[in-house]
Structure 1
């Protein structure tokens, strides 16, 4: 999740655990400590693919953060014994470990078990979701103004936790709807990822991979009996095969579980993470090879500039979220009255 959300969650937890003893200091301390895992963005791992796939790595590992939380609790209890080691341990453990656990609900991928496990991505909340953040943020602001506000913090934490639970329920609801649509096409066993569109859990995007096509499906909570809209995008299996021969290609496939697009840009091989963003506005596109006389040769990977999003896309997204327009065309990020508009 975004840094503001992580700080709000950490502040709310810090205040709930130690606010009765430390007041505002517990809220502020929790907010600061909660941002610690994201400092890994300051590390340069050598190239664009490494920076992309190592983010949310060791600094988000429960195997690293759990002992770190215990060490910090010991140090804090030596500095200020009054709350006791147990309270300090609850403070540091809850604040630090909830950071990667919350990130795991998003699509990017969080290496909870680094260095022994693959990334975890539940795909049930967008990286910025005001409906999750606002209860926490309001509770933290109140606790800073009128500490300790323990009841308010508990309510904020309860509402945000309930929203996470709702996101999983909504995801399963939308997944069933999408699977029914795919079954009608004889595609019951294809790789499938279902995730919310930006800023809420009311509109969802499903991505299904066939050998030669990527199907993008948009459906929403307010759609009623309206069938999901399906758009097909061509895939390049020959370029995927070439990328699999390269270390960066294999790394990206591992990190994204294969939800990638491959294209040729002149003599460059470009690999795009199709999980993040939307078609036409995927933010993570990497140049990993160039074509020479002996075929594709690896390059030190670089990231292409983030595509500009059509400014009309945000009103279109709002209208489609609340079923005010029946179809959202992902190719153009515009709405229409029928599938023919796409």
Structure 2
């Protein structure tokens, strides 16, 4: 999830663990705990593109990290914060570190929660930024802050924030199940044979959902809004995996393909190859739009394979917001 959401969650968890004893200061430490796992983004800047992608939401988003570094940070805090024990500070940091990747596991990218095991959990039931999750949570947290630490209202407001946000998460899982049924029914009605299907919400909402559908030679992408009145349309994107023939034994390319979980297409432009990660969709919900949110240029330099992420166009990102608003209202 985005940084603000993780800060709010961390602060609320900190309050739940030690708020009654310490007061508002625990929200600061909880917010810090909710931020630290995402420092892997900055660590990744010291590595090549593929390695950075592998690092992201790996070690720092694991149960192992929460246990080991929860104690380390708890001990460090206890050296100058004497209003709680080392064990209590460690408990706060542990839950701050752990709830961060648990929340991230519900997004498309997912988390390697059980690192070092090569298992990435990605439930794909919420977009990385969702105002309906964050804003009510933030309001309850602010209401909590202005109550005395011994106040019953303080704990009530904080608990409500945790309950409302968690309930919304459960609702998104139910909605995902409903939309999955809608997509599979549409595929059956249209007589489309497919190998695999995955669904996810489009940016900033849980009303409009998209589906990636694998067929023999192409991937289909479709959209469904709860306000739709017409049948779901699917748009075809050729796999073009054969274009990677020259890289079939290249370790770097294999690692990138592994990151995509096999959901990728290959496109060719100006004698350069591009690997498009389907999991994060397109930069528009317009029919047959061609530019993917995550695309990687593959080039050979001095017998070495170089992979560069294609920068996203801000203007097209703005257009995506406009397109989303129109498409959410129904087809």
TM-score range, shorter-chain basis? 0.7 to 0.9
Aligned counterpart, 1:338: none
Aligned counterpart, 2:215: 210
The offset of 1:214, in angstroms, is 1.3
CA–CA distance in 1 between the matches of 2:304 and 2:265? Answer: 17
CA–CA distance in 2 between the matches of 1:291 and 1:99? Answer: 39
Aligned counterpart, 2:33: 33
Structure 1 residues 179 and 88 mapped into 2: Cα distance closer, same or farther (>3 Å)?
same
Aligned counterpart, 1:69: 70
Structure 1 residues 127 and 310 mapped into 2: Cα distance closer, same or farther (>3 Å)?
closer
Aligned match of 1:304 in 282, 286, 310?
310
Relative to structure 2, which stretch is displaced further, 194-203 or 54-63?
54-63
Structure 1 residues 219 and 243 mapped into 2: Cα distance closer, same or farther (>3 Å)?
farther
The offset of 1:198, in angstroms, is 0.8
For structure 2, list consecutive stretches of 5 or more residues without a partner in the other structure.
283-288
Note the aligned Cα RMSD (angstroms): 2.3
Aligned counterpart, 2:285: none
Kept in 1, the 8 Å contact 2:239–2:264? The answer is no
Aligned match of 2:196 in 180, 191, 196?
191
**1:98-177 alignment to 2 at 5 Å?**
98-148=99-149, 149-177=154-182
Q: Is 1:264–2:268 an aligned residue pair? A: yes
CA–CA distance in 1 between the matches of 2:260 and 2:46? Answer: 18
CA–CA distance in 1 between the matches of 2:211 and 2:304? Answer: 32
The offset of 1:241, in angstroms, is 4.6
Aligned counterpart, 1:3: 3
CA–CA distance in 2 between the matches of 1:185 and 1:277? Answer: 22
Q: What SS is found at the alignment partner of 2:267?
A: strand
CA–CA distance in 2 between the matches of 1:94 and 1:69? Answer: 8
Structure 1 residues 311 and 201 mapped into 2: Cα distance closer, same or farther (>3 Å)?
same
Q: Is 1:254–2:258 an aligned residue pair? A: yes
Aligned counterpart, 2:93: 92
For structure 1, list consecutive stretches of 5 or more residues without a partner in the other structure.
327-342
The offset of 1:289, in angstroms, is 2.9
Q: What SS is found at the alignment partner of 1:283?
A: strand
The offset of 1:45, in angstroms, is 4.6
Q: Is 1:180–2:181 an aligned residue pair? A: no
Aligned counterpart, 1:15: 15
Kept in 2, the 8 Å contact 1:268–1:291? The answer is no
The offset of 1:186, in angstroms, is 4.9
The offset of 1:135, in angstroms, is 1.8
Structure 1 residues 171 and 111 mapped into 2: Cα distance closer, same or farther (>3 Å)?
same
Give TM-score, length-normalised by structure 1: 0.85
